[in-house]
Structure 1
Amino acid sequence: MAVSKSSVNSKPKVTFWEFFQSLGKTFMLPVALLSFCGIMLGIGSSLSSDNVIAELPWLGTPWIKSIFLWMTAIGDFAFGYLPVMFAIAIPLGLARDNKGVAAFSGFVGFVILNIAISFYLKQAGLLEIQDELLLKKQNIKFILGIQTIDTGILGSIMVGVIVYFLHEKFQKTKLPDAFSFFGGVRFVPIITLLTMSLIGLIIPFIWPFFAAGINGLGNLIQGAGIFAPLLFGAGERFLLPFGLHHILVTLIRLTEAGGTLEVCQNEVSGALLIFRAELNCPTVTDFSVSATRFLSQGKMPTFLGGLPGAALAMYHCAKPENRSKIKGLLISGVIACMVGGTTEPIEFLFLFVAPFLYAIHAILTGLGFMVMGLLDVTIGNTDGNLIDFVVLGVLQGTKTNWYLVPIVAGIWFVVYYGIFRFAITRFNIPTPGREKDDNMESESTTFTSNTNIGSSGYNSEGILAALGGKDNIVSLDNCITRLRLSVHDISLVDEKALKNFRALGVVKLNDHNLQVVIGTQVQSVKDELDALIK
């Protein structure tokens, strides 16, 4: 079926819901770096600490200790420059065209905002104050060498979103011939500079209200007491299928909503930033449970025990003749979950066929967060995988109570296995290997060939055809495991064909937007699709 010219030339409007999905996806670029830097910081700080050196004196050898101190310094980078990275990553991720210009404008916007704020503070005489306590109360700090109001992650998100809208509106601006040099994409950083310089003069008046709102959210969450981690963990899983979980995670881990604590005479906000500050503070002997209860430790019962148990249940419930066919799929999903902290390859095997099982899974994940907090386990970072367990749990010593994790994970393994095996057999849920016709092909024979396998291990030509061809694609992007697409005509998308080409699931959001769940090789598939489209 051909796509009409009029439909090709018109871009589907982005809804409010879709915008927030895309916004959450942009957080993953700085957060992925943050996670890796957290691992480096954990290794470096633990193996260069005096307590560890006292037990293992050879670690005190100058050149060996220097290596770990170097790792600590490098690992601290992402935490120190996190706001500017968000300001760059958001317009970079949201922009459909000229992404480099959008990213450059994000940096310009962030710096200009703080320069304008600093200008106002200087004119108001606030920078002449020598009282450290008063400056702290006004939240005045040095950012990129500029003495300004620290608006944190929320401020950088605001910059990124504003720059994105400016980029979309002005990247094709045509100016009179005398000024044509400044037109087109060159106009984007110019209009960004002018806009953010004006907003920077307003921020000192309105920011206290934003800060009060975030603090109110934090007080609401903290007011839930021991149930706060349960609400957070379950909420994250419930939001994951819609791609909105990154927003909740960012608020709790990187803003005042996740709590505020004084560490090494510095006031730090956000659960992850508090843990990082304590990890890097030589006077801290024990990590704060109030912060770590929202971090890696809460995921570990489900990631290291529960989901592997669910995978084993799905294997045992498959038809005997199909078990060899699905073994590789399940094993790769378990490895991605336990080692990489990526759960979608397993979750999407039962999300679409048994949503009630996914609801149980979300609640059990939240219970895992709560139990780890009640047991005073204090393992930080973001991924909840074996790497976090070893580096930020075992290597930090018994003060983290890491030895409780395998016990709870073992219990979760048994619980998940029992629930999933009972539910699958009792309600005849068509999990992998139990379908009525595992070899069922798409009604469209155009897509049934699986011979053109690319370096990604997927037939990207077939996937593109199943999406309605390149003329049907408006925009294409990806997150950790999913292709995110806007199309002209969603009726051209062949869901059966996509599943024949090993897609784990298809989420149709509306008449123009969908997500195709691929798995951990999604970036390679997206790159191959980009090449085919171009």
Structure 2
Amino acid sequence: MKEKMMKSVNVFSKAIIQPVMFMAVTGIILSVCAIFKLEFMPVALQSVGQYIFSILSGGMIGQLGVIFCVGIATALAKQKYKTDAAILGIVSYLIFLYANNAWLTLTNRLAEAGEQGLYGTGQGMVFGIQVTDMGVFLGIFLGVLVGWAVNKWGEIKLHKYLSPYAGTKSVYMILVFLVTIFAMVITYIWPMVNAGVEAVVKTTTTAGSIGFFFYGFLNRLLLPVGLHHFLWMPLFYTPLGGTADIAGQTFHGAYNIWLAELGNANQLTSMHPSIGYLSNFGSISLPIGIAFALWKTARSENKKKVAAILIPTVVTAFMAGVTEPLEFLFLFLSPILWVAHAVVYGLTLLVTNLVGISVQFDTGINMIINSLALPVRLGHQYWIPVVFVLSALLEYVVFKFLIEKLNIPTLGRERELVATPVESAVAESTTGAAGQQADAQTLNIVHGLGGAGNIINIINCYTRLRIDVEDESKVDIAFLKEEVQSSGIVDKGKHIQIVIGVDVQQQREKIEQYLATLK
């Protein structure tokens, strides 16, 4: 049972990384657009920056649910089902949207938009359809469901007269039923989850300084399931975030209070304490600490490649406030790191409140601009560099300690595959066109696993090949350890792991191409 569970976790970790890598590319473009949008830039560049920023914010970052759904479904599906899994992924996602909306309409439970739209109602707009707002969790759940379904029922056989509906077509019929039922049931379950979050918000706002810690902690912890906006939205725009009388008018919510006080700064003697919710080092200093820890714990031969991935994610967070490209690199790989990140995130907000920082910022740009716009006597900006350095250092120390102590296989932790071919008996004795096209490393792996016919399935995670074999007695572990360039072989009977490094995906593709030539 434990082995089966570990295998499932490893497969999921591999699947989740595919869409994440595209997010990193998106982040680079968003960072450039954030620079174009600065006030001192020419109007034409501001327009271009705003135009592209809004497209990618809505089209990529705002649609992570469907992206994860298709990406995970395709990655989890066996090689022969991948195309069908992609189609079923998007179809299942759309079926959920329409089924969920239809059930909400039929039961008269569609929420009405208020001043802040549908925020706080538990519902949201996805592809122009009002549905139960599950965030990225919806895409993850449906992606796993589709991947599992095509692998389990993809070989369904029917009577010859019904054969056009066999295989993945039968899976489609099953998914229509399962997804529709799920879309209906979730309308009753998810509101209870939302109610729990709302209760937590009310408790948090009456807990004094410690409430700032819990706000930050839960803000990160709830990100994967899309419920974090149930924390920040009420605090930002409703009386839950505070009430203040400024210049003869009453303002509710931390962000509304901030704007009012910024416009009347010369008449104030102090800032409202709720502004502490708006001082967010989570997208400014914490990404630096995380990235440096990931880079520091990577093997020396992998550091350049790891840096090439991490630097754009840090710039994206600092310039645009978009942290998902970095956070999703470890979120599903290690829940322990995610919880630790949430703790540090909360501690940063606690310290910010204790020292009295009262400046709104969620990007490096508005941190600088707003710090210059507000009198120091009100914002206590002199604490910002101190908290910036200390929070980044704390995040770095925590991540580095946990990664090394628990041997977490984060980016670049395994040895990189050396390109030099290994001369071995099997490589020298292999003949034929297929053998000439495959390098020695590929041939050695296939031979050590008992031959092409003994390989049932082969996938990869960040750094490891994970192979299921038919007959474990045919596997030559000694040969694999001696002739295959790797940093380790893990023998788990019918489940073999070969630690390759950051080039593991290329090696997997080489093996798959070689096996295809033998069919």
Summarize deviations over 1:454-502 as a string: whole Å, max 9, x none.
9999822223333333223221122333223222345615267447543
Structure 1, gaps ≥5 residues long: 1-11, 54-58, 233-248, 268-277, 312-328, 343-360, 377-391, 418-430, 434-441
CA contact (8 A) 2:38 2:46 kept: no
Q: 1:396 to 1:67 in 2, by over 3 A?
A: farther
1:261 aligns with 2:261: no
CA contact (8 A) 1:473 1:488 kept: yes
Within 5 A, what are the aligned runs for 1:60-209?
Answer: 60=42, 62=44, 64-76=45-57, 77-96=59-78, 97-127=80-110, 129=112, 136-209=119-192
- Structure 1 residue identity aligned to 2:172: P
Q: 1:513 to 1:130 in 2, by over 3 A?
A: same
Q: Distance in 2 between matches of 1:362 and 1:112?
A: 31
CA-CA distance at 1:209 after TM superposition: 3.8
CA-CA distance at 1:69 after TM superposition: 2.9
1:512 to 474, 488, 494: 494
Q: 1:335 to 1:44 in 2, by over 3 A?
A: same
- Structure 1 residue identity aligned to 2:88: S
2:7 to 18, 30, 46: 18
In the other structure, the counterpart of 1:334 is: 303
Q: 1:263 to 1:38 in 2, by over 3 A?
A: farther
CA-CA distance at 1:220 after TM superposition: 12
CA contact (8 A) 2:444 2:483 kept: no
Q: 1:225 to 1:290 in 2, by over 3 A?
A: farther
Q: Distance in 1 between matches of 2:443 and 2:204?
A: 47
Q: 1:412 to 1:32 in 2, by over 3 A?
A: closer
1:300 aligns with 2:300: no
CA-CA distance at 1:18 after TM superposition: 1.9
Q: Distance in 1 between matches of 2:288 and 2:435?
A: 35
CA contact (8 A) 2:462 2:504 kept: yes
SS in 1 for 2:456: strand
- Structure 1 residue identity aligned to 2:489: V
Q: Distance in 2 between matches of 1:146 and 1:296?
A: 34
SS in 1 for 2:125: strand
Q: Distance in 1 between matches of 2:183 and 2:339?
A: 42
CA-CA distance at 1:397 after TM superposition: 4.8
| 156-165 or 219-228, which deviates more | 219-228
1:470 aligns with 2:470: no
In the other structure, the counterpart of 1:271 is: none
In the other structure, the counterpart of 2:469 is: 487
Summarize deviations over 1:489-525 as a string: whole Å, max 9, x none.
45615267447543223344x3222432222222211
SS in 2 for 1:27: helix
SS in 2 for 1:81: helix
Summarize deviations over 1:255-311 as a string: whole Å, max 9, x none.
3369731299899xxxxxxxxxx9xxx99x999778653x68435346437854x78
In the other structure, the counterpart of 1:45 is: 34
- Structure 2 residue identity aligned to 1:60: P
SS in 1 for 2:458: strand
Summarize deviations over 1:90-130 as a string: whole Å, max 9, x none.
22111113111112112111111121111121122233856
SS in 1 for 2:157: coil
CA contact (8 A) 1:300 1:368 kept: no
Q: Distance in 2 between matches of 1:290 and 1:468?
A: 58
CA contact (8 A) 2:213 2:348 kept: no
Q: 1:448 to 1:409 in 2, by over 3 A?
A: farther
SS in 1 for 2:233: strand
Q: Distance in 2 between matches of 1:362 and 1:81?
A: 22
In the other structure, the counterpart of 1:272 is: none
Summarize deviations over 1:335-390 as a string: whole Å, max 9, x none.
12333239xxxxxxxxxxxxxxxxxx9999999878877887xxxxxxxxxxxxxx
CA contact (8 A) 1:307 1:416 kept: no
CA contact (8 A) 2:487 2:500 kept: yes
1:31 aligns with 2:20: yes
Within 5 A, what are the aligned runs for 1:339-378?
Answer: 339-341=308-310
SS in 1 for 2:486: coil
Q: Distance in 2 between matches of 1:162 and 1:179?
A: 25
CA-CA distance at 1:447 after TM superposition: 6.6
Q: Distance in 2 between matches of 1:498 and 1:73?
A: 51
Q: Distance in 2 between matches of 1:169 and 1:198?
A: 20
CA-CA distance at 1:528 after TM superposition: 0.6
- Structure 2 residue identity aligned to 1:256: L
SS in 2 for 1:484: strand
CA contact (8 A) 1:175 1:182 kept: yes
- Structure 2 residue identity aligned to 1:189: Y
Q: Distance in 2 between matches of 1:129 and 1:530?
A: 52
What is the RMSD of the two structures over their aligned residues, measured on CA atoms?
A: 5.5
CA-CA distance at 1:529 after TM superposition: 0.8
CA-CA distance at 1:411 after TM superposition: 11
Q: Distance in 2 between matches of 1:134 and 1:416?
A: 38
1:533 aligns with 2:502: no
CA contact (8 A) 2:92 2:142 kept: yes
- Structure 1 residue identity aligned to 2:46: K
SS in 2 for 1:127: coil
Q: Distance in 2 between matches of 1:152 and 1:518?
A: 34
CA contact (8 A) 2:74 2:85 kept: yes
Q: 1:230 to 1:71 in 2, by over 3 A?
A: closer
Structure 2, gaps ≥5 residues long: 239-254, 263-274, 312-336, 353-362, 372-383, 401-412, 416-421
Structure with greater Cα Rg: 2
CA contact (8 A) 1:215 1:257 kept: no
TM-score of the aligned structures, taking structure 2 as reference length: 0.61
Q: Distance in 2 between matches of 1:163 and 1:29?
A: 16
